[in-house]
């Protein structure tokens, strides 16, 4: 096992298109790192450079302290699990899992032990003689994971491995992947565009945008203290409400900024940090924002209220239970000042509030 280090890594394609723009961070030995971001942000390109299937334009990638820029993929001692499983259709499950070991000339008894041990862990022992076409999507993904496990690599790489599965199966497979990673304590780098997947799996979360790292940290740290408005809006479901405020309104609503920006700022409010009250009456529990209810989504233990603010802009309020105002009604969204997130007007940095 070994850590993975990115040092000022860049990827420039023909025509000068820069897909990865000087990314630097460390993944500690045994850690589960998840790179998350929208399509086209560079996360999969970065993963492919670790795997060696994409060349590095500049910078260094190290696995276990060894620079791997010019090392062939087969010699990097990594195992990759793909989105489309990448199984050989003409081979049995057993042969798919054993294929890489045979290429490395591992002894037959050891291959048999490794394959059967991995199959037992993944609960696919009964399927070893079947072909991939005879398996469900979840079973195929388990085979792909088994093929990676038997290699006992220094690092696991996951390229959106759950995106082809249905919602219920994704949840169970997330749990299985996390359990397996903890069991083997192997350094893992996982790519996804699903922020829920990222939050639940990661030890270290790397949020990417437009080829750059927006923020790195523990999942709850990133959620509770987003560094930019991009992170604030991307991490969390429903996303954070972001309201642009001019200096005068900002002073009235927030106050206590260590230095009040002359260009104003952006206020962030998590939907779960808001309460709703009737439009009539006085509200002195915090910041009050008048709104008109547009729609309500009731999803069992909670409700999402979508509204339009009187000051302009949209807002989402997350309420426990199913009690919520009806569309067309007026209400007031209330937030405690201690729950506010304040960002610079350009959205590129978080501001301190005293």
| pLDDT tens-digit series, residues 271-316 | 999 998 876 544 555 688 899 999 999 988 999 999 999 988 999 9
d(CA 280, CA 291): 12
CATH of domain 239-344: 2.40.50.140
Q: Are 3 and 185 in contact (CB under 8 A)?
A: no
Tens digits of residue pLDDT in 223-237: 999 999 999 999 998
Tens digits of residue pLDDT in 101-116: 998 889 999 999 999 9
Residue 344: what are its φ and ψ, rounded to 5°? -60, 160
Rounded to two decimals, what is the model's pTM?
A: 0.88
Other residues' Cβ atoms within 10 Å of the Cβ of residue 87: 22
Please state which CATH class domain 4-232 belongs to.
alpha beta
The domains of the chain are located at 4-232, 239-344
Joined together, the tokens standing for residue 196 give 């829920």
Joined together, the tokens standing for residue 132 give 């991939």
Residue 330 binned pLDDT confidence (cut-offs 50, 70, 90): very high
Using alpha carbons, select from 310, 339, 303 the residue that is nearest to residue 324. 303
**Which percentage of the chain shows pLDDT scores above 90?**
58
Using alpha carbons, select from 10, 31, 26, 54 the residue that is nearest to residue 154. 31
């Amino acid at each position: 096992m070994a850590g993975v280090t990115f040092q000022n890594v860049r990827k420039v394609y023909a025509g000068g298109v820069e897909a990865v723009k000087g990314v630097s961070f460390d993944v500690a030995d045994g850690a589960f790192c998840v790179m998350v971001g929208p399509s086209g942000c560079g996360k999969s390109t970065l993963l492919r450079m670790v795997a060696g299937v994409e060349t590095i334009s500049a910078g260094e990638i190290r696995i276990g302290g060894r620079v791997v820029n010019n090392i062939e993929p087969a010699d990097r001692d990594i195992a990759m699990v793909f989105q489309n499983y990448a199984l050989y259709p003409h081979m049995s499950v057993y042969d798919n899992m054993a294929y890489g070991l045979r290429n490395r000339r591992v002894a037959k008894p050891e291959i048999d032990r490794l394959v059967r041990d991995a199959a037992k862990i993944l609960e696919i022992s009964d399927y070893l003689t079947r072909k991939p076409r005879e398996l469900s999507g979840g079973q195929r993904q388990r085979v792909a994971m088994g093929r990676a496990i038997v290699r006992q690599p220094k690092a696991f790489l996951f390229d959106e491995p759950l995106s082809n599965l249905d919602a219920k199966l994704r949840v169970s497979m997330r749990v299985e992947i996390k359990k397996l990673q903890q069991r083997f304590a192997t350094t893992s780098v996982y790519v996804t565009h699903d922020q829920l997947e990222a939050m639940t799996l990661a030890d270290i979360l790397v949020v990417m945008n437009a080829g750059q790292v927006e923020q790195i940290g523990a999942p709850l740290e990133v959620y509770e203290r987003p560094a930019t408005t991009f992170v604030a809006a991307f991490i969390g479901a429903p996303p954070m409400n972001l309201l642009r405020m001019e200096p005068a309104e900002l002073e009235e609503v927030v106050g206590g900024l260590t230095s009040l920006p002359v260009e104003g700022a952006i206020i962030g409010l998590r939907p779960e940090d808001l309460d709703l009250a009737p439009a009539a009456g006085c509200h002195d529990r915090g910041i009050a924002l008048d709104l008109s209810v547009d729609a309500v989504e009731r999803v069992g233990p909670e409700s999402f209220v979508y509204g339009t603010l009187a000051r302009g802009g949209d807002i989402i309020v997350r309420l426990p239970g199913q009690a919520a105002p009806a569309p067309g009604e007026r209400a007031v969204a209330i937030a405690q000042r201690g729950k506010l997130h304040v960002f610079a007007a350009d959205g590129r940095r978080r501001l301190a509030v005293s």
